[in-house]
Amino acid sequence: MTQKLIFFDIDGTLLDDEKRLPDSTKEAIAQLQTDGHFVAIATGRAPFAFHPLAEELNIDTYVSINGQYVVHNKEAIYKNPLKPEAIAALEKYADEREHPLVHIDHQDWYANTEKNPYIKAALDSLKLGKEVKYNPTFYHDNEVYQTMLFCSGEGETEYDQTFDQLDFVRWHEYSVDVVPAGASKATGISQLIQKLDIPAQDIYAFGDGLNDIPMLKSIQNSVAMGNAADIVKKAAGSVTRHVGDDGIWHGLKQAGLLR
């Protein structure tokens, strides 16, 4: 079989609702690798937030932080940080509305306020066991690849209308990811595809979240998880079962990628 390149989202795709890796998913990934296929992660998480999972699955190529930090064979090949002036403007606007922020690089995350219940609730849902650090001036001297804004859905609309140089993608009831306008998993994936020079017909992608929509639309062989929202399913070429119902295994089998 011709070598394929398969991208997998993490939350709700590789990991179930309890942040567990189904045995069938682990077995499927191992079989893909044994058969010579190229397996990569495409996630909104930063590398520090999925390193143990990547090691468990023997994956060292990934599109992380919603496409802003791309690594191939453990080497960073693409970085797309937010502009400091854009962060400063966002910080001022958010501070006036008492909306906290968390700035993220590839190694850690840094809040601009201390002990905020909305930050705690959202980040705890990832079940990383990693505390956010307090450093309100982190972005002054360091590259930030993504910022998390903590506000309601109604509040999010204000930001969309005010900041045309930024995109806002909700990932939690209390939080949205903030990335450079036009940036997404799809733009990060395009950087990796250029390097690997793999034909479009041999590339696959699995996802379930709103931040997966650009990826699913841009990849010829895209699969939405059964647990995805309807808007996500409509963006994909096909739909597999729920992540907790061996969705990855069945999706790969349906695509003819498993023996």
- Of 9, 167, 208, 212, the active-site residue reads 9
Percent of residues in the chain assigned helix, strand, coil, to nearest 5: 40, 25, 40
DSSP class of 151: -
Half-sphere exposure of 244 (CA within 13 A, CB side): 7
39 vs 21: CA distance, rounded Å: 16
102 vs 135: CA distance, rounded Å: 9
Query: Is 141 one of the annotated active-site residues of the chain?
Result: no
The alpha carbon of 18 is separated from its chain's Cα centroid by a whole number of angstroms, namely: 17
Structure-token match 């995109």, residue found: 167
Half-sphere exposure of 88 (CA within 13 A, CB side): 6
Catalytic residue numbers?
Answer: 9
